[in-house]
Structure 1
Amino acid sequence: MTAAPDAPTNAARQPTALPVPPTAAPSLPSVRSAHSAPSAAPASEARHSALALAAVCLGFFMILLDGSALNVALPAVERDVHGSMAALQWVVTIYTIPLAALLLTAGSVSDRWGARRLFVSSLAGFTTASLLCALSPNLTVLVVARFLQGIAAGGLLPTTLAIIARTYPDPLERAKAITVWGATGGLALVAGPLGGGALTELLGWRSIFLINVPVGLVTLHLARRHARETARRESRAADLPGQLTGIVALSASVAYLIEGGSLGWAAPVPLLLLAVSAITAVAFVAVEARSPHPMLPLAVFRRSAFSASVANGFAFQFGGYGLQFMLAIYLQQQWGLSAERTGVYFLPFSVAWVFGTIVLNRRLVHRGPRFLLWTGALSSFVGSALLLGVADRGTWPLFIVGTGLTGLGCGVFSPSLNAAALLAIDPAYAGLGSGLLNTARQVGMAMGVALLGSLIGMHDTLLGLRLSVVLVAACFFAVIALSVRYVPRKETA
């Protein structure tokens, strides 16, 4: 890549070399030096860009690895802190709630602060919160630390692509960098269950969080030295009433699903949480409808194709990530597997997901997002349907095939969620559309973990497993139906 600041320098020096006569031998060394000096600049620039990309990918890797590794370590957490199934659900969802709530406003904060500054600040917060998780003396401190992790991730995640765009102004180089960034997510998906299981068995569950500390410090060093700051500009005022009512509505909904599973759906506390959720959800819609600068402009949902794309994002995360949480608990509690062996059982799921993303999606991308969405979701639907036959350890072949097909389908269609959403929204609102989709995905994950975790915690665990799998299959079927009905046929380039 040729950096823009170096181009004028080279152009200015070349005319001074052209008049030199071919016979002027003594002048030849000076001509070479005129050309050799600037050649070091592009090499240095490329090195800085590569290290900035490494920082961004490491930050992204930390966020994804943390969640996938924690799933297989949850039973060890439960034994150590003497928690319940509801407590395990809170350890996961308390991270997702602030992450989902902050995704929509992180863009405006990045505009005012600069993406690099927000990335570094959020990374420092995430690293500190990870250390607090590792040192948690009890469940309360762990839940609070996970909440702080979620806040930091809400600032960290949206800035990664902004820094890549600033670092690689050339579209071709930027596309290559984004491919590396995406592959990092696939690597985290494979490394999470295996690495999390191995670390839990060898060093205990706290090591999953503790490993973030040295990685975070290295990433901070790279980002501070090599990442460039993005342009700062004035942005719209933050929608604090919308932010608050949205957080309360989401938190109360998730709390109802978690506590209802342990206390009973008609118990006083869950019913109170349900009422709070309904009231604050109505208040959120009213606030957003009247706000001059709404966090969630309701007008964008007038386009049925965009609404379907957002619903697809919710369903994907509910099914794909809720399934991982629920099955990791089931394998260890009902099959008696260790955390390490649980990670091995999840290997076909993870590898198939990465294969679907890196190989199949890229080869079929010319067919357009609609085709990839419904065909990938069909594979996931068939795979999750096969999981209805899973019971004792003797049904492990069904588990392997079912999770493999589910992971393959998720890998094929998940990259097309953004493409479908952006095809359905005005290009002027592309950033908002991407933010809404990512928020819906995080909400889906929180709801999936809350509800499926409650079902797997039923007294009849096998019935809970099958009800959970039915819900997961229904989510993938919804992606098929919504994509075929509403997602436009327009093909990508």
Structure 2
Amino acid sequence: MAALAPLLAVCAGYFMVILDVTVINVAVPVIGRELPASLTGIQWITDGYTLVFAGFLLTAGALGDRLGHRRVFCLGVTVFTASSAACALAPSALFLVTARLVEGLGAALIVPGSLALLQQAYPSPPARSRAFGLWGSMAGIAASAGPLLGGLLVSTVGWRWVFLINLPVGVACLVLTLRHVARSPRHSDRALDWPAQCAVVAAVALLTAALNEAGRRGWSDPAVLAGAGLAVLAAGAFALRERLARSPVLPPGLLRSRAMSGGAVIGMLFNLGFYGMVFTASLEFQHQRGFSALRTGVALFPAVAMTTFASVLSGRLSRRTGDRPLVVSGMLLAALGLAGWAAAGPEPAYALLVAPMMAAGFGTSFALTGSTATMMGAAPAAFSGTASALFNTTRQIGSATGVALGGSLLATAGSYGAGLRTSMAIGALAYLTAAGLAWLCVPAEPKTA
């Protein structure tokens, strides 16, 4: 039990973070009626969390490297749990939106430290690969189970329990971490470059906001174009500041590493494919087939069922084969699944979609273990939090892009089915591109030491 405790603690925290991205989707219509909330308020209940979460990941990673990852992780769990309680007790829509913003900050503090703590707790490469695999499977399980769990809670005990379920998980996570996870090294001599941190927060938050709005408003909407333009300006300011800073947020040596930069892009591409598939499939099942939220969660279960099995298998195989064959084969399998969905015709029977969903879920989780190990292995120990933050930031951008593309295609294509098939084809192309990058960037040698 002692050997598993760090893994349980970290995975519990990560599961809460990803679950709260998707579990809210089926609850917001009910929330909007009960509080009440305008359409803009409903959007901010959903998107405010994602914006703060994505925007502050790199800052949280740098704080973890400087102050110690266990300390920042525990702070994140505390903030997340307390803000979840505030969300559950919210008397108004404005209060709920504010609590969701704080919850997003807690999520950002949790995630970079989660990978760094696993790397610290499991120094053996085989054990670390298994831990990274189970960590990665939490994302797929939480994202896909969110609509099912949310629908079940809303239809039985009410929407406030969507947030209340975080309380026991958060408390257990905090207790396990304090008791069983060792203190992390601190690099307090490393200064935080606040101008650069503010620039990267602005760039990621603005880009995520623009992508979220693009799915609703269209890519040519002035607000979307303005957000994207401001994100580019903020990114330019960040790059300029990095060239001048004595202690840059992303040291140039990290970005020059082919494994590091390639791994970040791979993470963005496979999140684009997987979350684009989950989003468009959810809309297809509910809007075109008339499924309830609960039945939609059940319909998505084939994708979820494969994630844990795939991650455990890839963690065991990595010491024999190395990471490259696993990442490449996983991406190819997921590409085949989405290509199969795109080729299934305008109104395929649900039975024909089970295999594509299983292939996408299995392939993504099978590849995630190796790509995570690649990113973390390429970073010096002193920058493990920064590496984790970079990986998760690019993945969040990929998720937002996949959802935005899917929403835009469903709204603008000649028919709903045509938009869905185009979205699946783009996801398959993203997976194929990730497979090619993995062949070039992911180390091939098995880790035996």
- When the two structures are superposed, what TM-score results if normalisation uses the length of structure 2? 0.84
Q: Which has the larger radius of gyration?
A: 1
Distance 1:409 1:62 in 2: 23
Structure 1 equivalent of residue 60 of structure 2 = 106
Percent identity of the aligned residues? 33
Structure 1 equivalent of residue 407 of structure 2 = 453
Structure 2 equivalent of residue 420 of structure 1 = 374
Correspondent of 2:131 among 159, 162, 178: 178
Correspondent of 1:477 among 432, 436, 440: 432
Correspondent of 1:272 among 226, 245, 260: 226
Q: Tell me the CA shift for residue 375 of structure 1.
A: 0.9
Q: Tell me the CA shift for residue 409 of structure 1.
A: 0.7
CA spacing shift, 1:302–1:355, aligned 2, 3 Å: same
Question: For 1:327-476, what aligned pairs fall within 5 Å after superposition?
Answer: 327-363=281-317, 365-389=319-343, 395-422=349-376, 432-458=386-412, 460-476=415-431
Q: Tell me the CA shift for residue 368 of structure 1.
A: 1.8
Between the two structures, name the one with larger relative contact order (CA 8 Å, sep ≥ 6).
Answer: 2
CA spacing shift, 1:342–1:76, aligned 2, 3 Å: farther
Contact 1:352 1:408 in 2 (8 A): yes
Paired amino acid for 2:190: R
CA spacing shift, 1:136–1:398, aligned 2, 3 Å: farther
Paired amino acid for 1:469: M
Contact 2:80 2:102 in 1 (8 A): yes
CA spacing shift, 1:391–1:315, aligned 2, 3 Å: same
Q: Tell me the CA shift for residue 472 of structure 1.
A: 1.3
CA spacing shift, 1:437–1:180, aligned 2, 3 Å: closer
Secondary structure in 2 matching 1:421 = helix
Structure 1 equivalent of residue 196 of structure 2 = 242
Structure 2 equivalent of residue 206 of structure 1 = 160
For residues 282-315 of structure 1, the C-alpha deviation after alignment (integer angstroms, 9 at most, x for no partner) is: 2121111221111123443334443222210111
Question: For 1:297-312, what aligned pairs fall within 5 Å after superposition?
Answer: 297-312=251-266
Distance 1:369 1:173 in 2: 11
Q: Tell me the CA shift for residue 248 of structure 1.
A: 1.7
**Are 1:313 and 2:289 counterparts?**
no
Contact 1:193 1:347 in 2 (8 A): no
Q: Tell me the CA shift for residue 482 of structure 1.
A: 1.3
For residues 448-478 of structure 1, the C-alpha deviation after alignment (integer angstroms, 9 at most, x for no partner) is: 3333334334474333323322221121011
**Are 1:63 and 2:17 counterparts?**
yes
Question: For 1:144-293, what aligned pairs fall within 5 Å after superposition?
Answer: 144-163=98-117, 171=124, 175=128, 178=131, 182=135, 185=138, 188=142, 191-224=145-178, 227-293=181-247
CA spacing shift, 1:366–1:113, aligned 2, 3 Å: same
Q: Tell me the CA shift for residue 141 of structure 1.
A: 4.2
Paired amino acid for 2:131: I
Q: Tell me the CA shift for residue 403 of structure 1.
A: 0.9
CA spacing shift, 1:145–1:330, aligned 2, 3 Å: farther
Paired amino acid for 1:332: Q
Correspondent of 2:80 among 126, 136, 148: 126
Contact 1:122 1:152 in 2 (8 A): yes
Distance 1:431 1:116 in 2: 11
Q: Which moved more, 1:173-182 or 1:300-309?
A: 173-182
Distance 2:191 2:129 in 1: 35
- When the two structures are superposed, what TM-score results if normalisation uses the length of structure 1? 0.77
CA spacing shift, 1:324–1:263, aligned 2, 3 Å: closer
Distance 1:173 1:478 in 2: 27
**Are 1:490 and 2:435 counterparts?**
no
Q: Tell me the CA shift for residue 177 of structure 1.
A: 8.8
Contact 2:79 2:103 in 1 (8 A): yes
Q: Which moved more, 1:189-198 or 1:116-125?
A: 189-198
Secondary structure in 1 matching 2:372 = helix
CA spacing shift, 1:73–1:458, aligned 2, 3 Å: farther
Paired amino acid for 1:328: S
Paired amino acid for 1:484: W
Listed as ranges, the gaps of 5+ residues in structure 2 are none
Cα RMSD (Å):
3.5
Contact 1:242 1:284 in 2 (8 A): yes
Contact 2:62 2:249 in 1 (8 A): no
CA spacing shift, 1:352–1:112, aligned 2, 3 Å: closer
Distance 1:467 1:214 in 2: 42
Paired amino acid for 2:260: F
Secondary structure in 2 matching 1:157 = helix
Paired amino acid for 1:367: T
Question: For 1:70-89, what aligned pairs fall within 5 Å after superposition?
Answer: 70=24, 73=27
For residues 386-413 of structure 1, the C-alpha deviation after alignment (integer angstroms, 9 at most, x for no partner) is: 2225677752123212111111111211
Contact 1:239 1:293 in 2 (8 A): yes
Paired amino acid for 2:14: F
Number of aligned residue pairs: give it: 445
Distance 1:269 1:488 in 2: 42
Contact 1:423 1:488 in 2 (8 A): no
Paired amino acid for 2:268: F
Contact 1:377 1:480 in 2 (8 A): yes
For residues 428-450 of structure 1, the C-alpha deviation after alignment (integer angstroms, 9 at most, x for no partner) is: 75554343222222222233333
Q: Which moved more, 1:432-441 or 1:174-183?
A: 174-183
